[in-house]
Amino acid sequence: MPLCNAGSPEHHITIWFRDLAEIQRYRDDDIDSRNRMIFTLVDGNQISQKRVADALGLSHSLIKQIMRQMRATQGLPTARRTRGEARVLTETVVALLNEELSKGRQLTELAQERGICLSTLRKGVSRGVLIHPLPRPACSLSCFGGAPASAPASSCPASTPSTQGERAQVDVNASEGLGTACVRVIERTLGLMRGGKAVSDFEPSESLAWGGVLTALPALCAEGLFRSTGLITDALDKCYYQATHLLILLAIMALLRIKSPEQLRGWAPGELGRLMGLDRIPEVSTLRRYLDKAGAQSSEWQHRLLKEWFERQAKEEADDKITLYLDGHIHVYTGNMTPLPKRYSTRHRLCVSGITDYWVNDRKGRPLMRIGKVIDEGMRQTVFNELLQQWEKHVPKPDESYRETHPDWVWFRLIFDRAGSSAAFLGELKKHHILAMTYQMRVKEQWPLNEFSEVTVTSPTGIKTEMLLAERLINLKATNGETVAVKEIRRMRIGQKSAYQTSIITTDFDLGMTEGAALMFARWNQENYFKYMAEQYGLDHLLEYATQSLSLSENVVNPRWREAEKQCKMVQGKLDSLHKRFRRSYEDLPEDGKGAAYEQKMAKREELTEEIRHLEAEKQELKARLKEIPRKITLGSLDDDERFVALAEDRKMFVDVVKMAAYRAETAMTELIREWFDAYGDEGRTILQRLYRQPADLTPNPDTKTLTVTVYPLPEKRQCLIAEKICETLNESETYYPGTEWKLRYKMLTADCDDGL
């Protein structure tokens, strides 16, 4: 319900609109008409008191007073009680002050100049005695239906591309109205009053900041990020921005390395909004609210997206078994909302409070899914209690007829690190038609050198390495007494002083040792993914300060047992140190076995022996006490100060899935660069990061419905050639901007650039 001031400076007129139609007008000195209008709209729940106060420049207390008076008289104006003769704001003083205020003078200046208290002048304004023309947004044709709502309130024609300076001026001017960069007044008003949705409508723009990030849209579309947005639409039913806008914004944030919504405060909202065909992006608090709504109702959308990724991997690996990589990643928590249980982190080399995220990746390191475990019982329990149910939904199986005729059919191949190195675990996985591969722990026997042969191993990413490999068929004894047949592959590394052998075991007997070594050592792609995502995408960032309850029947490690075990380990550490000192004492004894030195050494040995005997007794006592304490108890059995809850996961899971899609899109573009040019390591990703941050010109063509993105050149000629090749490939994809009918066209800004593209 926008307001507009019109009329001469002496007689300001306030006009009220509803759905672009005028419903009331009155002069500013007509207090009765003003009060009746305020009461009618506020009492009918058509507008809030806060919006009326902000629009009319009145205090909130005055609005409440008006509502009380009008309710007491049932909406009829009351005869205002005459006040006593004004001692300060006399008629002469009021006339002079109104004349000065009409010239744009400020209340603070007049208070100092006239020697009048500033609060007195403000009371005069609130009572309507003094007419203070408050700054309001400039009225333009776009505000009253004379031009499309998407047209910016600027003096340049629609066909003329706006420069960065012009756009910045428009955004600043809009801050006096609805807010910074809120230039689509009608569209936002209809969204507030009638639930209208924001529509992507692009404007010609020169040097649009971070316009190069639009080159990632075709790859994001190929990953299926926008394919099932209808499943999130219901969650954002009463919201101004659409689900597609939310997904595009989150993807842009990931690609531009904006790691959390709070960091958006340092980025121009208008420039980011124009990348999506909007006037601006949602404010941080609004974005948090959108994430809460979408995260709570996005499980089906996540399920379809993850299932599509698994099915695509099955097609890519049609000539081989589906290969999945499983590993745990510790998400460290340093807050004080809840005392999360501690767990050992190999990355930090100490026990830290946090959550264990179990990630599933493919052989190239691309993410497929993740689950978070506040109470981590280990990889084996997580696989059988939770991951198997998820894989049943996502991972394709052979046809039912094939499974009936082939009892030994294989579902997929699972590769993990030493955390799951157990013969019993491998045997149980095989019963579920899952072939496993891992490292073997505590290998003592060394194979002879003549069994090893030098071979060339090609990793899934195409890197070739020379290795010394050997293989054998062996049997492993499980803790439950069963025997598990496995193939063992050894890799030998010859150093300057000794040779080291790495043992790999697998239940997949069809694997050759070359292919098996390539698959096992490709697990480093998953480790590199964790490191890259934590540094670049903010994988471990806390996105919401909320918790959710856990079942009190959950089993957790008993704090008393943990403390007793800690004492046992401390005593054992002291014993190990004393045993070393005792063994070294033999070397220090004099050979003749005589003299004061010999007697002194023997006395020292006796002291060590007595101390060892004392610690051994203490150790046995602690072990006996440890056996009496139950290792696991229920969460409800913990003391109040030890009981913990889980961190809320909905918002983080939703954002993490978008980050996974952004990483997969970036990986796809990186692989294209490796095909065209000799890019070493992460050089391709570095080039893409620069490309995403480059400014670009946007040129929409309403006749052909094409949106041309002209990216500015990169610093080096080689990088420009790569970017040009990327643009050519993207144009062949015939991609449409998500949620619109605009076909995307890409090109690089060059010296002989043809503007008629």
**Cβ proximity of 412 and 322 under 8 Å:** yes
Domain ranges of the chain: 3-81, 92-136, 164-297+651-748, 559-629
- Cα separations (Å) of 14 from 21, 22, 528? 14, 11, 63
713 token code pair: 């050149």
Note the pLDDT of residue 144. 31
Evaluate whether 745 touches 215 at the Cβ level (below 8 Å).
Answer: no
What is the model's pLDDT at position 334?
A: 85
Residues forming beta bridges with residue 701, ordered by sequence position: 706
Task: Write the DSSP assignment of 107-170 as a string of letters.
Answer: HHHHHHHHT--HHHHHHHHHHTSS------PPP-GGGTTSS-TTS-SSSS-TTSPBPHHHHHHH
Cα 573 to Cα 567: distance, rounded to the nearest angstrom:
10
Q: Give the per-residue pLDDT at 755.
A: 46
Q: 64 is written with which tokens?
A: 């409440």
Rounded to whole angstroms, how far apart are CA atoms 688 and 254?
13
As to burial, measured by CB atoms within 10 angstroms (0-12 exposed, 13-18 middle, 19+ buried), residue 485 is middle
The residues that bridge with 371 in the sheet, in sequence order, are: 358
Distance between CA atoms of 263 and 258, rounded to whole angstroms? 6
CA 739/CA 236 separation, integer angstroms: 15
Mean pLDDT by 10 residues, the chain (757 residues): 47 72 78 85 80 82 86 63 64 85 80 83 78 49 33 43 88 85 87 84 94 97 93 89 96 96 94 96 94 92 95 90 94 86 84 92 95 90 94 93 91 93 92 95 89 92 90 90 92 81 94 94 94 93 84 86 91 90 72 67 82 91 91 86 87 95 96 82 89 96 95 93 94 95 93 48
Residue 594: what residue type?
Answer: K
- Structure-derived torsion over alpha carbons of residues 483, 488, 493, 494, reported in degrees to the nearest 10: 80
pLDDT in the model for residue 85 = 57
pTM of the model: 0.77
Tell me the two tokens of residue 579. 């045993």
CA distance 279 to 273: 5
Compute φ and ψ for 234, nearest 5 degrees: -60, -35
The per-residue pLDDT for 149 is 34
State how far the Cα of 682 lies from the Cα of 673, in Å rounded to an integer.
11
Q: Rounded distance, CA 644 to CA 340, Å?
A: 6
Taking the C-alpha atoms of residue 193 and residue 38, their distance in angstroms, rounded to an integer, is 17
For position 28, what pLDDT does the model report? 76
Local structure of 7: helix, strand or coil: coil
Which residues in 7-151 belong to E strands, given as ranges?
A: 13-18, 21-27
Specify the pLDDT at position 151.
37
Q: For residue 354, what are its two tokens? A: 């946090």
The angle at the Cα of 435, spanning 424 to 471, to the nearest 5 degrees, equals 90
* Torsion-angle region of 462 (φ positive above 0: left; ψ -120 to 50: alpha; else: beta): left
The span from the CA of 160 to the CA of 171, in Å, is 18
* The token pair that represents 645 in the structure block: 């809850």
